[in-house]
Amino acid sequence: MTDTARTQASKARAMKRLRKRRAADGRFRYYGLSAILTALGALAVLIFTIGSQALSAATYHVVNYDITLDPAVIAPEGAGRPEDISRNVEGFYGLVRDNLIATFPEAAKDRASRREVADFVTRLAVLPTAQMVAEQPELVGTRITLTAPLNDDLDLYLKGQGVRERKLGVGAIAAIKGEVEGGYRVTGAGAFDAVVAALAVAAADLPADAAEPGVLLTAGPSTGRLTEISAGSGHLELLTGNIKDFARLQSKARLIVALESERTISDQQIAWTLALKDMGRIERVPRKTLLTNSDSTYPELAGGLAAIVGSLLTMLVTALVAMPIGIFAAVYLEEFAPKNRVTEFIEVNINNLAAVPSIVFGLLGAALYINFLGMPRSAPLVGGLVLALMTFPVVIIASRAALKAVPPSVRSGALAVGASQMQTVFHHVVPLAAPGILTGAILGMARALGESAPLLLIGMVAFVGDVPRSPTDESTVMPVLIFSWSNNAERAWEPLTSAMIIVLLAFLLLMNGLVVFLRRKYERRW
Amino acid sequence: MDWLLIALIAVFGSSAFFLGRMRAERLLMSTAGRMHSRPNYHGYYVAMWATVPVLAIALSYAVFGEMLTRGQLARELPSSFSRLSPAELQSYLDSVRLAAGSAASAGADRVFEAITNRYLELRGLVNAGTLVILGLVAAFGIVWGQSRLKSDFRARALVENGMELVLFLCAGVAIATTAGIVLSLLYESLQFFQKVSAWDFLTGTRWNAQTEAEFGALPLFFGTFMIALIAMLVAAPIGLFSAIFLSEYASQTARAWIKPILEILAGIPTVVYGFFALLVVAPGIRSAAIWINETAIQLGLASEPILAAQPTSALAAGLVMGIMIIPFVSSLSDDVINAVPQTLRDAAFALGATKSETVQQVVVPAALPGIIAALLLAVSRAIGETMIVVMAAGKSARISMDPTSDLTTITVQIVSLMTGETGFDDPKTLSAFALGLVLFTVTLAFNVVALRVVKKYREKYD
Amino acid sequence: MDTSQGNPMMDDSITPQPTKDGGPRIDCRNIKVFYGQAEAIHDVSMSFPDRAVTALIGPSGCGKSTFLRCLNRMNDTIENCRVEGKILMDGEDINDADVDPVLLRSRVGMVFQKPNPFPKSIYDNIAYGPRIHGLANGREDLDAIVEKSLRRAGLWEEVKDRLSAPGTGLSGGQQQRLCIARAIAVQPEVILMDEPCSALDPIATARIEELIDELRNRYCIVIVTHSMQQAARVSQRTAFFHLGNLVEMGDTGQIFTNPREKRTEDYITGRFG
C-alpha cells in the first residue's frame, strides 16, 4: 500500500473517532445545561407554588353587619366603663349573631341552625370594634357597620379552593308547585339538561356505591337543594330566601361532589354565604391583618406582627453582639495577630464554627443561657445571643476578606507619617474596608433572620399572642411562626403560611438589596 | 437595675475621660516641651481605669447576683422546704421571682408572700451592695488613673495596648464558643451516660425516648445517613455539573445571570424548604408511590404494596435537602474549578482535546481535592440540617431501606426532645445533648478534613 | 501493506508530510483580530515555510502572541475574540466552519510561555494526546510513542527511570522540554512556541534552543520571542510586529543586518521596546 493510501485510511479512522468525540462533547455539555436547568426549575417551582398560594391569602372576605349598639347589651348597668366595653366580646358577638338571624329567619329554627349561623364569625373578630367603641363611647346607641372576616372555610369556598363545585347553567323555570311532603316541584322544559349530563359524568368517576353528588340551585339571594332531577323537573328544598325568586330570576346550579358530612361547611352555610354575597355584604379586601394582627388560633384573624417585632428585637441583639465582636476579631487577626499557634488555633476555630450545624448552637444556648445562667426562655435576648454566636464567625470571615483587600500601600503610607499601628488601622484601613465589612455583616444577619432550628430549642416556638415590648418578653420570630403555622391542620393555614413566607422573603430581599446597593456604590478594586 | 448599671458605667467613663483630659491639658500648658501623648489619650487612659474594673463587677453581678440572692433565701427557708428536690426548689424560687417582678401577688398564700417579700429585701441588699462597691471601685480607678498622668506619660501606648487586648479577647470569643459547645455537650452527655450506657446508646436499635425511655440511637443514625445520602445523590451531580457548565461552558452574560439566581436558592431559609417539602414534594411522592404499588399489583409483579407510601418520607426530605445544597456544592466547586490555572486548559486544547475531554481529564482531576472537600462540607451540612427533616421526614425511629417510609434523624429527635417542658435532669433532655455530641463530632470531623484539604489545595495553586 | 498495522509514528518517512517543493506550510492573508470592538491585529499577511523556524519579534503587546494563537485557533477559547481573514494550511482555510479545531490542533502543536505540565505522571503527560486522538494501538505502541517523543525532546535519558513520577516535579527547563515532547507526541506538522524560554534560566534556554534547531528538520516551527539574540540564533525567517502591524518580514540574516524599515532598525538596535 502506498503512503497516500495509508494516510487516507488513518484519516478516515481519525474522522470516525472525531465524530464520536464530538458527540461525547455534546452530551457532556447537555448534562451541564440540564443540571443548571434542573436547579433553576426547582427554584421556579418553589417560588411559583408558594407565591401563588400566598397570592390567594393576600386578600380575604369580610362581611359587613349593620348593627345598633344597644346600650343594654354593650354597656349594661355597672359595666359601662371603657375597659368593660372593650372586653365585652359576648355582647358585640351577640349583636352580630342576632343580625345574621334577622337576615336569615330560618337560622332561628333550631340549635343546630343557630350554631351554623354562629360559625360565620369567630367571637374574637369583634374585638377591634369593641375597642373602637370603648375609645369613642359616644357611639353607644348609634348604628354602625361592623366588619368582620368571614369564617376561613367559607372564605376558601368563595375563593374556589375549599369545597370543589361545578357551576352549571339552568334553563328557564316555568312552574313552581308546593308539594305535600314539603319542598317544591320546579319544572321547565329541558331546564336541567346540563345538570343531568354533569351528574352522569360525575357518577362515572365515582365508585358504584357512592352517594349521588349534591346539587344546589341558586337564584339571586335564594338557594335550595335540588333532588330527584330529570331533564325537565326536580324537587327543590328551599334553604334560604324566597321561592318566587326562582321563577323571577335566572337560576344557576352548583354541583358539589364531596358529601355534606365530609365537608367543613354545610349546604346551609353555602346558601347563606351566597345570599350574603348577592346582597353585597361580602367584600374581598386585602388582608392587612397579616401585618397588623398577632398570632391567633383562628386563621382568619392570625397575623405576624408579634413575630415580626420579635424578629426585629432578636436581630437587634444579634447585631449589637455579633457585629462588634466579629469586626474587632477580624481586625485583630488580620492586622495585629502574630503568626503563632494561638492565632492559628483561633483561625481553625472560626472556620469550623462557621460550619457547625445551627442546631448545636441551640443546644449550647439551652445549656448555657437558660440552664446555667438562668435567663428567661422564649426571649429575644437569648435568641439573639444564640444567633450572635452563630453569626459572628461569618462576620469575621467576611470582614477579614474586606481588610485583606485593602492594599498594603495604604498601611505603609500611614505608618510613614508617624501614625501608630492602631491609628493606621482605625483611621485608614477599617474605613476603606467598611463597605465590605458592612455587606458581610448584613449577609450574616440575613442568614440569622431566616434561622429557626436553634430558636426552637430555647423555647421561642411558644404561642405568643402579644407583641413583645422588650428583649426579655416572651416572643417568637418569623421563621418559627412559619414552622408553627405549617403544623396546623386546617386547610386555611396553608396559604396563610405561604403569605408569611413571602413576608419573610421580602425582608431578606430587602437586606440583600441593601448589600447589592452598597457593593455597587462603594465597591472599589485596587 | 440593668439599665442603671449601664447608665452608671457610661457616666463613670465619660466623666473620667473629661477629668483625665483636663488634667493633661493643664500639664500641657505648664510644661514647655511636648507631651508624649495627646490629651485625648490621657482621657481615654483614665476612662479605662474607671470602666474596666466596674464592667467586670457588673458582669459578675449579672451572672451571680441572682444566684447569691437565691442561695441566701434558700438557707433562710422554713425547714418544711428541705423535703423539696433541688429541681422543685428551683421552680418554686422561679415562681417567687416571677411574683416579685409583678406587683399583683395578691391572693397567694401567706408563706409565699412572706418569702417573696424576703426575696425582694435580699435582692435590694445585693443591689445596694453592688452599687456601693461599683462606686468605690470607679472612684479609686479615676484617682489612680489621674495620679499616673505626667507630661512624658505614654498614655497612647497604654491605651493602644488595652485596645489590642480588647481586640484579642474578641478573637478569643471563637475559642470560648467552641469550648462552650464542647463543655456543655460533654457535661450533659456524661450525665446521660451515667443513666444509659454509651454502648447501648450507640448500638441499640430501639429508640423510644418520649414514652418508654429506650435510647438505642442506631435508627436515628440510619435515618440521618439515608436522608443525607439521598440529598447528596441529588446535590452532588447537579451541583457539580452546574459548576462545570458555569465555569467552562456558559457565556459571561449567562454566568452573570445564573450565579446570583443560584445564590437565591442558597439564601432561602430552610423553614421555607421544609414547608415546600411538606406542601408539594411529600404528597407528590406519596401519590407516586401509591401509583407504583397499584401498578405493580395490577401487573402481577407483587401481591401486596411494595412501598410504604407514607405522608412524610425520607425521599421527600432528602430531595428537598438536595435542592437546598445544590448552590452550596456548585459555588464551592466553581471556586476550585476556577482556581485551576488557565495554562492547563490551554495545554489540553493545544493538544487537540475537546472541551469535555479537557474538563474530564485535566480540569476535574486537578480540582479533585477541592471538589471532594466541597462535597464533604455539603455532607456535613446535610447531616446537620434540621428544619426540612423536622417538617418532612417524620418521627418514626426505624431502619428501613424503603425511601418512601418515614424515617427520623438525629436533628429531628433533638428538636422533639428539647421542645417539651421537661427539666434538665430528665434523661429525655440529656439524651438530646448526647445526640448533639454525636452530631457535633461527626460534622466536626467532616469539616476539619474538608477545610484542611481546601487549604492545601489553595496553597498549591496560589 | 506490511506496516499499515504498525504505528505511523514509528515510520519516519510519513511524519510529518513535507510539502512537495518546501514552499509555505501556512499562508495567512489579511488577518484581523478583534477583542470586542478593539482591533488587535491589523490586516497581516504572511506565510510560514516548512522545515524552517520563523521567529516573531516585537515589543510587548504588539500582537505577536495573539497572531500565533490564530494559527491553531486557540483564540476560539477566549470569549468575544474574533478573527477575520484567511489562514490557509495545505490550501485549506483553517477558519472554515467545517474545520474542526480539535483536529486542527492535533496538526498544529503549541508550547506555552510558562511550562504547564498536567498534574499527572511524566508518562501520562506525553500519552495524553495520543490517547485522546487514538494514535496508539495498545500499550507497547503507546510506550514507544512516549519514548520516541521524549527522545526527540532530548529528555529521555533524564527521565527514563522515573516515568511515573509527577511531571510537575521536574525542573523548569525539563518541564518545558516535557511540554515540547507532549506536543510532538500527537505528530503535529507545525509547532507554535510562545516565548518558550522566558521562564527559564540561560542553561535551560540553551538546551531548548538546541532542541528547536534539531526539530527544524521535521517541522514547521513558529516561535514568538522577546530575545533578539534568540531569534537570531534559532530562526531562518524573522517577522517584526509593532502595534498590531506586521512591519517587516524576511530572512533572519537580512532583518538583523540590513533591515528595510526604520522601525525595525530602531527596535533591533534597542532604541525602543
Same domain, residue pair A235 and A309: no
Same domain, residue pair A41 and A88: no
Question: CB–CB of C8 and A21 under 8 A?
Answer: no
Please give the order of strands across the beta sheet that includes C24-35: C38-49, C24-35, C81-89, C92-93
Question: CB–CB of B271 and A512 under 8 A?
Answer: no
Domain boundary among A235, A262, A289: A262
Between 2.60.120.680, 1.10.3720.10, 1.20.1560.10, 3.30.70.260, what CATH number should domain B198-457 receive? 1.10.3720.10
Apex C247 CA angle, C242 and C253, nearest 5? 110
In the predicted structure, residue C18 carries a pLDDT above the cut 60: no
Which residue's C-alpha cell is 345538570? A195
Which of B458, B182, B440, B174 has its CA nearest to residue A396?
B174
Q: Tell me, rounded to whole angstroms, the distance of Cα B215 from its chain centroid.
A: 25
Is A148 contained in some domain?
A: no
| pLDDT tens digits for range B246-282 | 999 988 889 888 988 888 888 899 999 999 999 999 9
8 A C-beta contact, residue B327 and residue B262: yes
Is A215 contained in some domain?
A: yes
Domain that holds residue A362: 305-522
Q: Tell me, rounded to whole angstroms, the distance of Cα B184 from its chain centroid.
A: 13
Question: CB–CB of C118 and B362 under 8 A?
Answer: yes
Strand pairing class (A222-227; A214-219): antiparallel
Which residue's C-alpha cell is 476603606? A432
8 A C-beta contact, residue B4 and residue B61: no
The secondary structure of C233-252 as a DSSP string is HH-SEEEEEETTEEEEEEEH
Which of B419, B415, B421, B429 has its CA nearest to residue B191?
B429
| pLDDT tens digits for range A264-310 | 888 899 999 999 999 999 999 999 988 988 888 888 889 999 999 99
In the predicted structure, residue B78 carries a pLDDT above the cut 80: no
Please give the order of strands across the beta sheet that includes A59-68: A143-149, A59-68, A282-286
User: What was the pLDDT predicted at B103?
Assistant: 55
A463: left (phi over 0), alpha (psi -120 to 50) or beta: beta
8 A C-beta contact, residue B196 and residue B375: no
User: What was the pLDDT predicted at A122?
Assistant: 85
Looking at every residue in chain A, the average pLDDT score rounds to: 88
Same domain, residue pair A13 and A81: no
Distance CA A364, CA A177 (A): 77
Same domain, residue pair A252 and A184: yes
DSSP state of C74: G
Which of B341, A14, B249, A13 has its CA nearest to residue C104?
A14
Instruction: Establish if A421 touches chain B: CB-CB under 8 angstroms.
Output: yes
Q: How far is CA C79 from CA B247, B336, C35, C86, in A?
A: 12, 21, 9, 20
Name the β-bridge partners of C32.
C84
Distance CA B417, CA B432 (A): 6
DSSP state of A370: I
Same domain, residue pair A200 and A236: yes
pLDDT band at B460 (very low <50, low <70, confident <90, very high): low
In the predicted structure, residue A388 carries a pLDDT above the cut 90: yes
Please tell me which of A499-508, B361-370, C125-134, C162-171 the model is most confident about, judged by mean pLDDT.
A499-508
Strand pairing class (C38-49; C24-35): antiparallel
Distance CA C177, CA C186 (A): 15
Same domain, residue pair A363 and A512: yes
pLDDT band at C12 (very low <50, low <70, confident <90, very high): very low
Strand pairing class (C220-224; C237-242): unpaired
Distance CA B196, CA A81 (A): 61
Q: With helix as H, strand as E and coil as C, how does chain B read?
A: CHHHHHHHHHHHHHHHHHHHHHHHHHHHHHCCCCCCCCHHHHHHHHHHHHHHHHHHHHHHHHHHHHHHHHHHHHHHCCHHHHHCCHHHHHHHHHHHHHHHHCCCCCCCCHHHHHHHHHHHHHHHHHHHHHHHHHHHHHHHHHHHHHHHCCCCCCHHHHHHHHHHHHHHHHHHHHHHHHHHHHHHHHHHHHHHHHHCCHHHHHHCCCEECCCCCEECCHHHHHHHHHHHHHHHHHHHHHHHHHHHHHHHHCCHHHHHHHHHHHHHHHHCCHHHHHHHHHHHHHHHHHHHHHHHHHHHHHCCCCCCCCCCCCCCCHHHHHHHHHHHHHHHHHHHHHHHHHHCCHHHHHHHHHCCCCHHHHHHHHHHHHHHHHHHHHHHHHHHHHHHCCHHHHHHCCCCCCCCCCCCCCCCCHHHHHHHHHCCCCCCCCHHHHHHHHHHHHHHHHHHHHHHHHHHHHHHHHHHHC
Distance CA A312, CA A308 (A): 6
pLDDT band at A198 (very low <50, low <70, confident <90, very high): confident
Cβ-nearest to A356 among B258, B261, B440: B440
> Which is more confidently placed, B148 or A23?
A23
3-class SS of residue C189? coil
Name the β-bridge partners of C81.
C35
Side-chain-side CA neighbours of C54 within 13 Å: the count stands at 26
How many Cβ atoms sit within 10 Å of the Cβ of residue A109?
9
* CA quadruple A41, A44, A48, A51: dihedral sign: positive
Is A324 contained in some domain?
A: yes
Contacts of C192 (CB under 8 A, 6+ apart): B350, C68, C69, C71, C72, C108, C109, C110, C111, C221, C222, C223
Which of A481, A486, A310 has its CA nearest to residue A387?
A310
The b/e string for B365-383 (b: 16+ C-beta within 10 A; e otherwise) is bbbebbbbbbbbbbbbbbb
Which residue's C-alpha cell is 452550596? B328
- Length of chain C measured in residues: 273
Contacts of A263 (CB under 8 A, 6+ apart): A163, A256
Is A274 contained in some domain?
A: no
Q: How far is CA A183 from CA A113, A241, A298, in A?
A: 18, 13, 37
Largest Cα separation within chain A, whole Å, is: 123
Is A204 contained in some domain?
A: yes
Is A359 contained in some domain?
A: yes
Side-chain-side CA neighbours of A10 within 13 Å: the count stands at 22
Q: Where are the domains of chain B?
A: 2-151, 154-195, 198-457
Same domain, residue pair A122 and A26: no
Distance CA A41, CA A35 (A): 10
pLDDT band at C162 (very low <50, low <70, confident <90, very high): very high
- How many B-C residue pairs are in contact by the CB < 8 A criterion? 67
pLDDT band at B106 (very low <50, low <70, confident <90, very high): low
Looking at chain B, the whole-number percentage of residues with pLDDT higher than 70 is: 96
Is A283 contained in some domain?
A: no
A332: left (phi over 0), alpha (psi -120 to 50) or beta: alpha
In the predicted structure, residue A43 carries a pLDDT above the cut 50: yes
Distance CA B350, CA A181 (A): 96
Question: CB–CB of B347 and C119 under 8 A?
Answer: no
In the predicted structure, residue C1 carries a pLDDT above the cut 70: no
Distance CA A237, CA A184 (A): 6
| pLDDT tens digits for range A321-376 | 999 999 999 999 999 988 888 888 898 899 899 989 999 999 999 998 888 877 88
**Cis ω for the linkage preceding C16 (within 30 of 0):** yes
With a CB-CB cutoff of 8 Å, which residues 90-129 of chain C face chain B? 102-106, 109-110, 112, 114, 116-120, 128-129
> Which is more confidently placed, A212 or C256?
C256
Q: Which chains touch C (3 or more CB pairs under 8 A)?
A: A, B
Apex A200 CA angle, A197 and A202, nearest 5? 110
Question: CB–CB of C182 and B352 under 8 A?
Answer: no
| pLDDT tens digits for range A395-432 | 999 999 999 998 888 888 888 887 888 888 998 899 98
Chain C residue with Cα closest to B250: C79
Chain A residues with a Cβ under 8 Å from any Cβ in chain C: 1, 3, 6-7, 9-10, 13-14, 17-18, 21-22
User: What was the pLDDT predicted at C5?
Assistant: 44
Is A98 contained in some domain?
A: yes
pLDDT band at B391 (very low <50, low <70, confident <90, very high): very high
> Which is more confidently placed, A1 or C163?
C163
Distance CA C202, CA C212 (A): 15
Same domain, residue pair A319 and A428: yes
3-class SS of residue A462? coil
Q: How far is CA C256 from CA C61, C65, C229, in A?
A: 21, 21, 10
Predicted TM-score of the model (pTM): 0.86
Cβ-nearest to A1 among C4, C13, C100: C4
**Domain tally for chain A?**
4
Strand pairing class (C237-242; C53-57): parallel
Name the β-bridge partners of A343.
none
How many Cβ atoms sit within 10 Å of the Cβ of residue B304?
7
Distance CA C273, CA C269 (A): 10
Cβ-nearest to C134 among A1, A17, A22: A17
Q: How far is C14 from chain A (nearest CA, A)?
A: 7
Side-chain-side CA neighbours of B370 within 13 Å: the count stands at 24
Which of A321, A344, A439, A455 has its CA nearest to residue A391?
A321
What interface predicted TM-score (ipTM) does this complex get?
0.90
Question: CB–CB of A505 and B272 under 8 A?
Answer: yes
Chain B residue with Cα closest to A350: B174
Chain C residues within 8 A of A22 when measuring between CB atoms: 100, 102
Same domain, residue pair A347 and A431: yes
> For residue A514, which amino acid is it?
L
Distance CA C7, CA B450 (A): 46
For residues C99-117, give the mean pLDDT: 88
Which cell numbers in the block locate residue A19?
Answer: 465524530
Task: Supply the CATH number for residue A514's domain.
Answer: 1.10.3720.10
Same domain, residue pair A179 and A66: no
